[in-house]
Structure formats: C-alpha cells, structure tokens
Structure 1
Amino acid sequence: MIKLSLLTRSLTLSTTLLTSIACATSAQAQSSHPFGIPQSGDDKPSASITAMPGSRAQGWLAQGRSELLARHGVVASSDPLASEAGLEILRAGGNAVDAIVAAAAVLDVTSQNDTGIGGDLFALIWSAADKKLYGLNSAGWSPEAWTLEYFTETLGLTEMPDFGVNASTVPGAISGYAAMLDRFGTLGFEETFERAATLAEEGWGQAERRHADLVRVQDRVREDKDSAATFLKDGEVPPLYSIIRNPDLASALRLIQQDGRDAFYKGPIADAIVSKVQANGGVMTHADLAEYQSEWIEPVTTNYHGYDVFQLPPPGQGFAALHMLNILEVCAPVHGVDLSALGPSNPDYWHFMVEAKKLAYSDLYAYNGDPLFVDVPISELLDKDYAAELCDRIDMNVASLPSVEGGLKGGTVYLNAADRWGNMVSLVHSVYDVYGSGVTVPPYGMILHNRGNPFRLEAGHPNVVAPRKRPFHSIIAGFVMRDGEPLMAFGNMGGAVQPETHAQHIVNMVDHGMNVQMTTDAARFTHRQQSNVLAMEEALANLVGPALRAKGHDVLPVDGGAVGGYQGILFTRDPQLPLPVYNRKSIEEDHPVNGVYRAGSDHRKDGQAVGW
C-alpha cells in the first residue's frame, strides 16, 4: 500500500515536472508581443524580427506588391483612409478633383506630422474637357510686417527661425482646395470634407510611421501647451495603434463645410490664428489672411527621350528635376554613358546620376525664389544647350564638390487621383517640418506650418525674406504626357529629395521599362547638397558603395525613411476604344474611361492605391 502510494506520488511529481517544463518551454518560445501588439516600452514590436522577405511569383520578384488596375477611377495616397475617402467620392459620382480634396482632407486629420489645413499645397490638374494641364500655386505668402529688418534688427537674428510663429507664413491649403473645387469640382466642402470631419470626431488608429514621428519630436510638441493638449495624452505620446481623436479640428472642418474658405481666412478660424500668432510674438494680421489668394500658373516642362515631363514653376523646386533630366539626356553620349545598358546595379550608373543631380541642384539653390519678386531664368536653365555646357563638369572617375550648397527639410504628403472621364490630379501638400512650426491654434486643433524657415536673411539673395513674398518651396508635383495626351500623374514626397527622386522615377520607367509600382520598390539615393554625403538605401549601398567610395563619394547606408514616398497613376489607352467627348454631362454615370489606369504606392509609407 505504501509502495503504491509512493509510486502514485512519483508519477504525479513526474507529470507535474513535465507540465512545468512544457509550460516553461512554451513561455520561452512565445513572442513578447504576439500579433505585433506593443508591450510597455516597446514602440517597434517587429523591428528585431530576423525573418527574410518573401518573393513574388512573377515579374520582378522583389517587387513589394502588384500594380493596381482600374477603369472607373483611382486614388493613391500615403494613408489607406485617405485613399478610401477619395474612392468613396468617385463611386458617388464625383470627379478626380472632388476625390483629391476629400483624400487630402483626411490626411489633414490623420497626418499632421506631415500636413494639415495649416499648410500649403500645389497641384497639376489635367482637365479632360479642356484637354489642358493646369498648375495651381497655393503657397501662402509672408505677413506684411516680415521685412528683412524685422528679423535682423527687431528680432536680432542671423537666420530664419526653425520653428514657432515667426517661421509660419499664411497657410494656403484651404484656399487651394477652394480654387480647385470652384474651377473643376462638381462638389463642395460640405461633401468633400465629410469623411475627414467624421474621422476627427470618431477617431482613427495611430499608425507606425506617424507614431514614430511624434515620439521623435515630442519634446518640441510639449513646448506649446496647445500642441501638447492636442497631440499628447497626459503629457505622453499615445501608444502605437491607440485611437486618436481631434474634435477641435473637426470643429474647424465643420466651419469650412458651412462657410467655405471665408471661415478660414476671414471668419473665426482667422481670428484664432491671429490671436495665437500675436500672443506668441508674431506679426501676422487679419489682412494677411483675408487678402491672400491662390494663383493659377503655367507648368514648366522638358522632353526626356520623347516624353514631356511637367513640373510647377518657382518658388517650387520642380525645375531642378527637369534640369537633371536634361543633363542626363544631353551629357550621357558625351561621356559614353547608356543608362539603359548600364542598369541600376552598375556603380558608373549611380555616379553619373549623382553628378547630374549636383549640377541641377547648384542652379536650384543659386536662382530659386518667388518669381513675383525675382527673375528666375527658367527658360535658360531648362535649355538643353545650357545642359550641354555643363557636361564637362562631370568626371566619370571622380566625385565632385557641389558648386552651390544648400538644403531643405521635409514633412510632406503627395497624392493623386484619376476619374472615369479622364481627369487626373497630381497634388502635394505639407506643413514642411515634422509637426510644422510646433504651434497649434486653439480651439481648432490645427498645427501651423513653418514654411517661412527657408527664407534667407541676406540682402540681394533671390530667396531673401520680404513682405507678402512666398518662400523657396520644397513640395512639387509631377506629370507626364506623350503626343499631347495625358500619361501619368506622379510625385515623391520628402523635402529636398523630391527633384532627384522625380528624375530617378522617370529614368526607371523610361530607360529601364519599370512599371509604376516597381519604380518605387527599387532602391533609391538622395544626395545631400550641404554636406556632400551620398545617402543610399542599405542594399544599394552594399552593392555599389565600395566602387563609389573609390571615386570619392561619401556613401552613407540609410533606411527608406531618407528617400521619401511615391505615388503614381499611369493611363494606358485602349486603341480599340474610341475617344469619348470628355463632357461630364454627356457621359453615363457608369461609363469607364477608354483605357486602364495603372497605379503604384510606396511601401515606405503607410498608404495604398485603390480603384474601381
């Protein structure tokens, strides 16, 4: 009996021990953040995982996702909620302009790290009815009191402030939305702002990139009590994936729905902006806001191997992309370079691209400014004979020093849309730096941009600060046409990287035949004109970095955050279908465009391309 009891006890202990070991093994094997759910103090739950990426079954196997194909309409942006808001408008009968405003307004809610109604915007709009490409400059101007003496003598500065109310020009975004809707839209603020206002009231999930941005600048956000109250919770950054709400911003959007642009530039929002700015030592007035208007402008263009590439003129930096393409096209045969034959795994390919970029950006930083104040010699800069004069400044064996240094910050969203009638919109929208000026306007939960920061405090400089002047602008939107017909709306957000990445995308697609998704999934470079550092995404740096260092390049491996984020929509016409008359009233509501839209979206950001 005693032996049986001991045996039973032994078996029980053994079972308990095995169970404990199994439990311990199970506990050791389990992730500390199952399903990627962050734990306390763990802001990047997937960063340490060592798994290898999978590959596709067709095409370029490293491509991250397929192109989106749709016929009735497409919206591509850096936030799925924004893309879906635009698609919702398209499905309800709105056109591409209506859709782009709805999508951008959602980004104004979910992405104030990059953009907002306190920022600026630019757009290129292809009107199917007019068969014409229009440009819109909605960069806000400086306050009337922003003289050079105000900054150098009154404030005692030697360079423009990075942040604060004296870095903030008049916000141009709402004026830009109004201009687009008035000229080309079929809907108004009431319909196009509804999804954004509802999101601000009900809340949305905090995504990884935007959470990381807030973690990075949280100390600056705390410096302004209204920013801290709007973007932090009990003084701390809200957890990753938590629900974020901004009912104060919803109030501003509801006012604009009701009273249009006047609510922002002449009404209660204007009152709040002036009150906040002046209470913090700024000089913006009601007149600065009330008298501001957006400007319809002619795009600038060059032809690259048979394709007409369009950008917006100064004060934006888009002409540098065209200038770089001219240098690549004209100087390649001079140096015996064939970009298509070399391909993007050859060090000489990247050396030539980077040297062309240095030349283009040197002219950008030497000449760019507000064309209403200074003569920017665009026609001369974009003349291919001028590009030919620069070819001997490229040495295929030695990295050069930029003749003119310079640099800009970043904090931007780029998005595009196309509809069933053939209208296409390329739009870029920004508060400049991450969380802009760091100044939030109560009681409306909106951050003010710091677009005044790029102004210079040097008398005689093309970009010297002056009253009612628009600063050197980093944000640009691109468009491509062939034989007078629209082909592609594209862009690449990211501060100073934008012109060089626009050029890289055109080379990818024209010289290498990459599709509109592959071009963004391929590795990119960004050259820093101020420090002469060549930043390359890590895999590319590992491949060609040693050979480029031998030529004198200071190569720095970086992650994808350094090269911005792209969206692209390409129209492929079906030659079997007749060209319809692009008059919205004469086309059935369910009539798709006479071809197929193909779209791509950057995996480096949070967004996607959607269509129907």
Structure 2
Amino acid sequence: MKQLYFFLLPLLLMGMTSLLKAQDRTSGKSFATRSEVLAVNGMVATNHPLATQIGLDILKKGGSAVDAAIAANAFLGLADPAMNGIGGDLFAVVWDAKTNKLYGLNASGRSPKGVTLAYFKEKGYARVPAMGPLSVTVPGCVDGWVELNKKFGKIPLDQILAPTIAYAKAGVPITQEVADLMIEPQLLSRIGLKDAGKFSNFKKQYMKNGAFPVKGDLYKNPELARTLEMISKKGRDGYYIGEVAQKIAAHIKQEGGFLSTDDLASHKSEWVDPVSTNYRGYDVWELPPNGQGISVLQILNILEGYDLAKVGFGSKEHIHYFTEAKKLAYEDLATYYGDPAFNAIPLPKLLSKEYAAGRRKLINDKQAGIYEPGLAIAGHTIYLTVADKDGNMVSLIQSNAAPFGSLEVPEGLGFVLHNRGSFYELTENHINAFAPGKRPFHTIIPAFITREGKPFMSFGLMGGDMQPQGHVQMVMNIIDFGMNLQEAGDAPRIYHEGTFARFGHVNDVGTLYLESGFPYETIRDLMLLGHKVSYAYGLFGGYQAIMRKAGVYYGASESRKDGQAAGY
C-alpha cells in the first residue's frame, strides 16, 4: 500500500498543479503545444513539412543555409501557390559566419517605366486595382535567389531546384491549410467564378474541372517544372530575358497593363544594411524601407520604457502598452515609409531613443488613445528560416501579396503574378505615390536578433500588417516574459487594426483582436480603458524561428499552420 502511495503521489501533485496552471505535457510550460527541436548540424523551419525536409536534404548534401532556404522557398511556390511563388517578391537577412556580419537583401521589384500617375488619374482610378495587370510590378523572387546563391551558396541552382521540379512533375498532395485557403469566400469572390471569361488562365492553371484541389488531391504543375528547368540552366536570364520574360510581358500587354520586357531585363535586387535597435541588451534587426520593418524597432523603443516583466504576460498593462505603442509607430509607418530612392526617409530620427521617449509620453495609462505622426515632414506570405553546420543563418520571406496575387497567369509558365502594385497611392506627393520605376510599400519583413555581436535568433511572422505586431510580441515573449522558442509562438496573440493611416488619418481607437487564452478579467479591464475588444480567426500570422545557444540550434514552428521545424 505504501508503494502504491508513493507511485500515485507524483501523479496527484501533477494533477493539482494543472488545476493551478494549464501546462504542456512535455515542457511543463504554459503555452507550448510541443517541445522545441534541438540539433547541432542544421535546422530548417517552414510552414510545410515537405519543404522542411527538402531544406534538410540540401543541407546534408553540402548546401549552405541559403541554398536550403531557396530550395524550400521554390517548393512552397508549388505546394502553397496562393501564398508565394516566382511571380512575387522576396526579402532576406543572412548571418554570415565567415565575416561575423548580417547582410540584407531587398529583392522587391519596381513599377513599369511606361506608365505614370497621370494615367491612373485620367482613367478615374481612386486606387490601383487589387487584381489584374495594373497591379503587377516586376517580380523580384528569382533574382533574389540568384543573388543569394551567388554570394552565400555552396551548390549550383540546378541542384537546389531539382526537388521541386521532380515534385511538380510527379505531384504533391494538397494539405489542409492550403485547401482551406483556396475556398475562402474572399478569394472566391475575387476570382469572379460567375464570369467564365475572367482570369481564364488562372482557372486553367489552378482550378482543374472548375474547382480548386481539396485536401489529399495530388497537384501537378508541369508548366512550373519547365519554367524552373529554364531557370536552373540559365539562372537569372532564364526568367528576366527570353521566353519567360516575353510571355509575362505579352500577357500583361494583352490584358491592358504596361509591364515590359525592358522592365524585366533591367531589374536588379539590392544588398542593403539591416538596421537595429537595442532592446534590453539584445540587438533586434530589420530591413530598411520600402518595407515596414523599422516599425518593429520603433515599437520596441517605446515599450522599453515599461517594466513588462513585472506586469506579466496577458495583463492589461502588457496589452495596453503594446497596443498604444503600435498605434504610435503605425502613424509614422503610413507617413514616412517608402522607396528610399524616391524619398528622404528620416531613419535616424525615427529610431532614436529620444524620439521614442517623446512618443511614449503621449500614452495615457488609463485611456486608449488616438494619435498622429510624430515628425513634421493585409497580405499572404510564407516565412522560413534555415541554419547550417558552419553557423550561417538565413531569415527569408516571400509573397504574392494577396492570395494568388493579381490572378494573372501568363500562358504556359505555371505561376501567378503578384499584385504588390496595388499598394501604391494615387495621391501626388504621398511617400508611396505611384511613379515609374519605383518600388511599392511592402509588408513582408524578415527579422534577426543578435546579442553581443553573435547570432541569437532568426525569426519571422507572416501576415500583412500583423507582421510588425507579431515580431514585437515574439521579442517580448522571449526577452520580457522568459518563454522558450516554441512557447513564444504558441502563446495567444494580439492584433490591432483600424487606425492605420495609410489611406488618411483615422480618428478612432481601432479594434483590438485577442486570441483565446487571455483572461476575461484582462479583457474587461481593457474595455474600461476604452479599447474596442473583439475576436477573430486567421488574422494572427504564421511564425517560424531558429535560436542558437552554446553551439546548439533550437527550432520552433507555427502551431496554427502545417509547419515543421526539423534538424540533424
């Protein structure tokens, strides 16, 4: 009897503990759905298990972290075509172990040079259409792959693209998440199913027999396989010069757009210096505009003035201060973030601690606020991260902008063109006003954290204007609240919208969406502060991350998606 007592006692104590605090079975932590993945030789974290396995195979064959990232990205363009592909843009941050340095790549494309703002005015457009040929800018993804491989690669592009080419010919089974996205009402309404002649190439490519594939269907794309084979043989020229470029330009012209073979041939990516702020001893890195990454740094600078560890995760103070800091930073984002080739962007001022301190003073501890810019002057994406045995790490994000982008599919190429051009403004003198050869405002942002000059964490969180909000929450979860890498991603998230002043100032506190998991007492207290609290599904993004500690890689993947982190 005594032996039975000692056997049952730990189980009884575990049961009592679970009544006090819901815990994960394996880690004992409160939000983790699973343990972190640990490995020494390499780590890959993507939103699709087969993409992760392809990345690992490339690492084991001697490829670099960058090579594996390109291979995984290429596969995702096949298996998750609404989200990304070679018709879209790309951004990356790379930690190079040889030089002990971070490198940034802006592989976003520019607007057609043969059209001006006056054209849109003459046609009576209030906004660039969200679908169709006018929304298409030069796709930068393939040039980004070539630049990354040239600078940091160890194996040639044909070996990197071979797994996706094989899958495109043989077929890949459609996952639940991919199938669910394809039948979302918003996407179906965009396509215009009642108009048989509209986007006919799109329907022929992705809707065999008039319907999207469902979970478990074997999806083949021999046209994409052929396009990737051309890129494998000719590199950049296999996309931007020759048959592919000619078919893209001819299709856009036929549909009434302006993207030309010259626009494609003259495109080039840009190597840029990532920018950072120090947050409680950690350097958090983002890419400079034309993306929204520096809003992450602005929010962190404001939040640094609060003792978040003391107030605790899920407290009214945590959520209130985060939301107010986000609103302040997004006012600046809408006003000052654009293509630096066309605008003088006051980065030093926006990122200064003094400026953050001044903005912080506008936050009322007892009331949700409405703000304006501080100076006198929605989206579908994949994110992945890879690390290799040599200590190199890459943070990469790639996107079609909206699901299936512009819905424009050039004949016989196997991919859809993005619609990032719909992000231009048609207002003269706006920071993001349309102009020939100009890069549009971008939402997709990769991130990185270093500590004392060494790599600490490569991470990202896709999802339109949720991305900066998600980046900040991951930083808070790990640095302020002491969560592990997986727990940080599994913890309930906050998403605020409704005050983003990109289309003009909004005199409202916006809507604060909270995932399930926050206590009702906190929600009630936030309402008393004047926040409009609501719930939502699918707005909270997708997270992948790799951390490096004492020579060991820790991997984590999004529990809300089909993703996987794996190492060897």
Q: Given that residues 541 and 557 in structure 1 are in contact (C-alpha distance below 8 angstroms), is that contact kept between their aligned partners in structure 2?
A: no
Of residues 468-477 and 247-256 in structure 1, the stretch that sits farther from structure 2 once superposed is 247-256
Alignment match of 1:93 (pick from 59, 62, 67): 62
Q: Given that residues 95 and 393 in structure 2 are in contact (C-alpha distance below 8 angstroms), is that contact kept between their aligned partners in structure 1?
A: yes
2:328 matched to 1:359?
yes
The residue correspondences of 1:191-210 to structure 2 (distance < 5 A) are 191-210=159-178
2:553 matched to 1:603?
no
In structure 2, what is the equivalent of residue 253 of structure 1?
Answer: 228
Query: C-alpha displacement at 1:404, in angstroms?
Result: 5.8
Q: Distance in 1 between matches of 2:521 and 2:205?
A: 44
In structure 2, what is the equivalent of residue 497 of structure 1?
Answer: 466
In structure 2, what is the equivalent of residue 566 of structure 1?
Answer: 543
Q: Distance in 1 between matches of 2:234 and 2:416?
A: 21
In structure 2, what is the equivalent of residue 165 of structure 1?
Answer: 133
Pair 538,259 (structure 1): closer, same or farther in 2 beyond 3 Å: same
Summarize deviations over 1:301-324 as a string: whole Å, max 9, x none. 100000001000000100000000
Query: C-alpha displacement at 1:81, in angstroms?
Result: 1.0
Query: C-alpha displacement at 1:543, in angstroms?
Result: 5.3
Q: Distance in 2 between matches of 1:59 and 1:420?
A: 30
Of residues 514-523 and 344-353 in structure 1, the stretch that sits farther from structure 2 once superposed is 344-353
Q: Distance in 1 between matches of 2:252 and 2:521?
A: 50
Of residues 431-440 and 288-297 in structure 1, the stretch that sits farther from structure 2 once superposed is 431-440
In structure 1, what is the equivalent of residue 518 of structure 2?
Answer: 540
Pair 81,367 (structure 1): closer, same or farther in 2 beyond 3 Å: same
Query: C-alpha displacement at 1:124, in angstroms?
Result: 0.4
Summarize deviations over 1:317-374 as a string: whole Å, max 9, x none. 00000000000013x2xxxxx2101111211211111001111111111101000000
AA paired with 1:165?
Answer: P
Q: Given that residues 298 and 312 in structure 1 are in contact (C-alpha distance below 8 angstroms), is that contact kept between their aligned partners in structure 2?
A: yes
Q: Given that residues 82 and 106 in structure 1 are in contact (C-alpha distance below 8 angstroms), is that contact kept between their aligned partners in structure 2?
A: yes
In structure 2, what is the equivalent of residue 435 of structure 1?
Answer: 404
TM-score, normalising length: structure 2: 0.91
Q: Given that residues 274 and 286 in structure 2 are in contact (C-alpha distance below 8 angstroms), is that contact kept between their aligned partners in structure 1?
A: yes
Q: How many residues align?
A: 528
The residue correspondences of 1:366-445 to structure 2 (distance < 5 A) are 366-403=335-372, 409-445=378-414
Aligned to 1:562, the other structure's residue is in SS state coil
2:239 matched to 1:264?
yes
The residue correspondences of 1:319-334 to structure 2 (distance < 5 A) are 319-330=294-305, 332=306
Aligned to 1:558, the other structure's residue is in SS state coil
Summarize deviations over 1:153-177 as a string: whole Å, max 9, x none. 1x32111111111001000000000
Q: Given that residues 327 and 371 in structure 2 are in contact (C-alpha distance below 8 angstroms), is that contact kept between their aligned partners in structure 1?
A: yes
Aligned to 2:208, the other structure's residue is in SS state coil
Q: Distance in 1 between matches of 2:319 and 2:293?
A: 21
Summarize deviations over 1:536-570 as a string: whole Å, max 9, x none. 113327452221111111111123x1110111100
The residue correspondences of 1:196-345 to structure 2 (distance < 5 A) are 196-216=164-184, 217-221=187-191, 222=193, 223-330=198-305, 332=306, 338-345=307-314
Q: Given that residues 133 and 255 in structure 2 are in contact (C-alpha distance below 8 angstroms), is that contact kept between their aligned partners in structure 1?
A: yes
Q: Distance in 1 between matches of 2:521 and 2:171?
A: 44
Aligned to 1:69, the other structure's residue is in SS state strand
Of residues 55-64 and 249-258 in structure 1, the stretch that sits farther from structure 2 once superposed is 55-64
Pair 416,543 (structure 1): closer, same or farther in 2 beyond 3 Å: farther
Q: Distance in 1 between matches of 2:345 and 2:284?
A: 20
AA paired with 2:544?
Answer: Q
Q: Given that residues 231 and 238 in structure 2 are in contact (C-alpha distance below 8 angstroms), is that contact kept between their aligned partners in structure 1?
A: yes
The residue correspondences of 1:441-590 to structure 2 (distance < 5 A) are 441-528=410-497, 529-530=499-500, 532-540=510-518, 542=520, 544-559=522-537, 561-573=538-550
2:23 matched to 1:67?
no
AA paired with 1:304?
Answer: Y
Summarize deviations over 1:23-54 as a string: whole Å, max 9, x none. xxxxxxxxxxxxxxxxxxxxxxxxxxxxxx99
In structure 1, what is the equivalent of residue 106 of structure 2?
Answer: 137
Q: Given that residues 55 and 62 in structure 1 are in contact (C-alpha distance below 8 angstroms), is that contact kept between their aligned partners in structure 2?
A: yes
Query: Which structure has the larger Rg over C-alpha atoms?
Result: 1
Q: Aligned residues: percent identity?
A: 41
Query: C-alpha displacement at 1:125, in angstroms?
Result: 0.5
Q: Given that residues 134 and 298 in structure 1 are in contact (C-alpha distance below 8 angstroms), is that contact kept between their aligned partners in structure 2?
A: yes
2:331 matched to 1:349?
no
Q: Given that residues 62 and 155 in structure 2 are in contact (C-alpha distance below 8 angstroms), is that contact kept between their aligned partners in structure 1?
A: no
2:158 matched to 1:180?
no
In structure 1, what is the equivalent of residue 6 of structure 2?
Answer: none
Q: Distance in 1 between matches of 2:253 and 2:518?
A: 49
Q: Given that residues 440 and 447 in structure 1 are in contact (C-alpha distance below 8 angstroms), is that contact kept between their aligned partners in structure 2?
A: yes
In structure 1, what is the equivalent of residue 11 of structure 2?
Answer: none
Aligned to 2:457, the other structure's residue is in SS state strand
Unaligned runs of 5+ in 2: 1-21, 501-507
Query: C-alpha displacement at 1:152, in angstroms?
Result: 1.3
Summarize deviations over 1:488-513 as a string: whole Å, max 9, x none. 10110001111111011101101111
Pair 434,518 (structure 1): closer, same or farther in 2 beyond 3 Å: same
Q: Distance in 2 between matches of 1:257 and 1:164?
A: 29
RMSD (CA atoms): 1.5
AA paired with 1:604?
Answer: R
Of residues 529-538 and 181-190 in structure 1, the stretch that sits farther from structure 2 once superposed is 529-538
Summarize deviations over 1:429-456 as a string: whole Å, max 9, x none. 0010011111112101101000011110
AA paired with 2:543?
Answer: Y
Summarize deviations over 1:63-96 as a string: whole Å, max 9, x none. 1111010000011011111111110000111110
Aligned to 2:183, the other structure's residue is in SS state helix
Q: Given that residues 345 and 543 in structure 1 are in contact (C-alpha distance below 8 angstroms), is that contact kept between their aligned partners in structure 2?
A: no
Pair 246,404 (structure 1): closer, same or farther in 2 beyond 3 Å: farther
Aligned to 1:86, the other structure's residue is in SS state helix
TM-score, normalising length: structure 1: 0.84
Q: Given that residues 541 and 556 in structure 1 are in contact (C-alpha distance below 8 angstroms), is that contact kept between their aligned partners in structure 2?
A: no
Pair 599,345 (structure 1): closer, same or farther in 2 beyond 3 Å: same
Query: C-alpha displacement at 1:59, in angstroms?
Result: 2.2
AA paired with 1:609?
Answer: A
Q: Distance in 2 between matches of 1:555 and 1:544?
A: 11
AA paired with 1:272?
Answer: K
Aligned to 2:62, the other structure's residue is in SS state coil
Q: Given that residues 170 and 220 in structure 2 are in contact (C-alpha distance below 8 angstroms), is that contact kept between their aligned partners in structure 1?
A: yes
Q: Given that residues 23 and 29 in structure 2 are in contact (C-alpha distance below 8 angstroms), is that contact kept between their aligned partners in structure 1?
A: no
Unaligned runs of 5+ in 1: 1-52, 333-337, 574-594
